[in-house]
């Protein structure tokens, strides 16, 4: 294949990775931005979404499209429910203390991974893509499902942006993010907002996982890479900045995909890490990070 078509293929692969990464990292950024919690269990929620998607598709058995649609609804809801239980039973009891919650979410990560290993097992299992069609380009054919993943991610990101900037719930979340004490003084139920944001962040990771599981297969350790990349994205984008997170996800996802296709995935991770170091030297608060007021 010539260089041009090869680059196009690599860019498409990168765009698929960026689409899933943007969803996952946005969940992490929301939780950090609003609650000031570094959720180390975010990758475990991603993995749980993929495993529940496989379980739903396996049990339902009504055809790949319906199986997938059911998984796309049930898995994020189930993961959101797990997140709510974790938030109420662990994080709230720790009074959302930044240091304690890091340790607590590390524990949560291990608990979820071990429960997944004990129930789901060590095997990697695929969910069949809902539609099996290829888009034929002049140089190569490309999976229509992967294009759908990019489209779905863009639609969800736009919906989240609309919800945050155009609805009352979004306004409550943003007010809580900037000053939770003053938010309480204006009758904003901050504890409810925290619970909702933690669940929603986990659900975004689960949606990303359901979208990717027809491409990648579900496995109980599959949350590690998305977690690390999400952390990189959130730091590069600027802690708490959602638009920075999305932009960084696109940059890192695309570069990861392109370098993985042309060279190796390991080199892609090395370059991403070097990019983070460079950006943090030049702009210590990331691309869109602001000084605390």
Partner 1 sequence: MLKVENINSFYDRTQVLRDFSLSAEAGRVLCVMGRNGAGKTTVLKSIMGLIRPHSGRVIIDGTDIAPLQAEEAPRHGIGYVPQGRRLFSELSVADNIEIGLMARGSGQDVRERVLDFFPVLRERFYQRAGTLSGGEQQMLAIARALCLDPCVLLLDEPTEGLMPAMIARIGEVVLKLKSHGVAVILVEQRVDAVLRIADRVLFVENGRSRETVEAEVLRKTPEMLERYLGVGQ
Min dist. Cβ of residue 183 to partner 1 (A): 8
The reply on whether position 174 binds partner 1 by CB under 8 A is: yes
Nearest Cα residue to 287 out of 205, 232, 228: 232
List the one residue from 114, 167, 182, 273 that touches partner 1 (CB under 8 A): 182
List the one residue from 186, 281, 284, 291 that touches partner 1 (CB under 8 A): 186
List the one residue from 2, 99, 123, 181 that touches partner 1 (CB under 8 A): 181
Min dist. Cβ of residue 27 to partner 1 (A): 21
Q: Indicate the helix (H) or strand (E) that contains 277.
A: helix 265-282
Mark residues 133-172: x for contact with partner 1 by CB under 8 A, - for none.
-----------------------------------x--xx
Min dist. Cβ of residue 210 to partner 1 (A): 33
Beta carbons of 53 and 70 less than 8 angstroms apart: no
The reply on whether position 30 binds partner 1 by CB under 8 A is: no
Task: Report the Cα 70 to chain-centroid distance in Å.
Answer: 20
Nearest Cα residue to 112 out of 85, 142, 138: 85
Beta carbons of 205 and 46 less than 8 angstroms apart: yes
Q: Which residues contact 16 (CB under 8 A, 6 or more apart)?
A: 146, 149, 150, 215, 257
Min dist. Cβ of residue 172 to partner 1 (A): 8
List the one residue from 110, 162, 178, 262 that touches partner 1 (CB under 8 A): 178
Nearest Cα residue to 146 out of 75, 211, 219: 211
Cα–Cα distance list, 168 to 172, 189, 197 (Å): 6, 13, 14
Min dist. Cβ of residue 94 to partner 1 (A): 16
Nearest Cα residue to 163 out of 60, 26, 13: 26
- Which of these segments, 45-53, 72-80, 107-115, 174-182, binds partner 1 (CB under 8 A)? 174-182
Beta carbons of 53 and 119 less than 8 angstroms apart: no
Residue 264 vs 290, nearer CB to partner 1: 290
List the one residue from 136, 139, 179, 264 that touches partner 1 (CB under 8 A): 179
Min dist. Cβ of residue 290 to partner 1 (A): 8
The reply on whether position 189 binds partner 1 by CB under 8 A is: yes
List the one residue from 70, 188, 228, 271 that touches partner 1 (CB under 8 A): 188
The reply on whether position 99 binds partner 1 by CB under 8 A is: no
The reply on whether position 95 binds partner 1 by CB under 8 A is: no
Distance CA 154, CA 160 (A): 10
Min dist. Cβ of residue 198 to partner 1 (A): 19
Task: Report the Cα 260 to chain-centroid distance in Å.
Answer: 20
The values of phi and psi at residue 134, to 5°, are -115, 145
Residues that bind partner 1 (CB under 8 A): 168, 171-172, 174-175, 178-179, 181-190, 290, 293
């Amino acid at each position: 294949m010539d260089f041009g078509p090869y680059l196009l293929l690599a860019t498409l692969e990168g765009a698929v990775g960026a689409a899933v990464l943007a969803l996952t990292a946005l969940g992490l950024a929301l939780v950090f931005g609003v609650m000031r919690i570094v959720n180390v269990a975010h990758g475990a929620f991603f993995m749980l979404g993929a495993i529940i998607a496989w379980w739903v598709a396996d049990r339902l058995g009504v055809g790949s499209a319906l199986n997938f649609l059911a998984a796309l609804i049930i898995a994020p809801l189930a993961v959101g429910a797990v997140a709510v239980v974790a938030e109420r039973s662990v994080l709230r009891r720790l009074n959302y203390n930044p240091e304690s919650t890091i340790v607590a979410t590390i524990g949560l990560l291990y608990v979820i991974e071990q429960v997944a290993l004990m129930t789901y097992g060590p095997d990697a299992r695929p969910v069949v893509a809902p539609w099996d069609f290829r888009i034929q380009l002049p140089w190569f054919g490309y999976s229509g499902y992967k294009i759908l993943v990019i489209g779905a991610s863009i639609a969800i990101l736009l919906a989240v942006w609309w919800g945050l900037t155009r609805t009352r719930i979004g306004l409550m979340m943003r007010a809580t993010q900037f000053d939770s004490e003053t938010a309480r003084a204006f009758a904003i139920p901050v504890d409810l907002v925290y619970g909702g944001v933690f669940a929603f962040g986990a659900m975004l990771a689960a949606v990303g996982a359901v979208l990717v599981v027809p491409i990648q297969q579900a496995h109980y350790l599959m949350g590690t890479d998305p977690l690390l990349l999400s952390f990189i994205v959130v730091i590069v984008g600027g802690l708490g900045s959602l638009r920075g997170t999305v932009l960084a996800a696109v940059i890192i996802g695309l570069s990861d995909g392109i370098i993985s296709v042309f060279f190796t995935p390991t080199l892609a991770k090395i370059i991403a890490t070097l990019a983070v170091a460079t950006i943090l030297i030049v702009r210590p608060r990331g691309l869109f990070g602001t000084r605390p007021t």
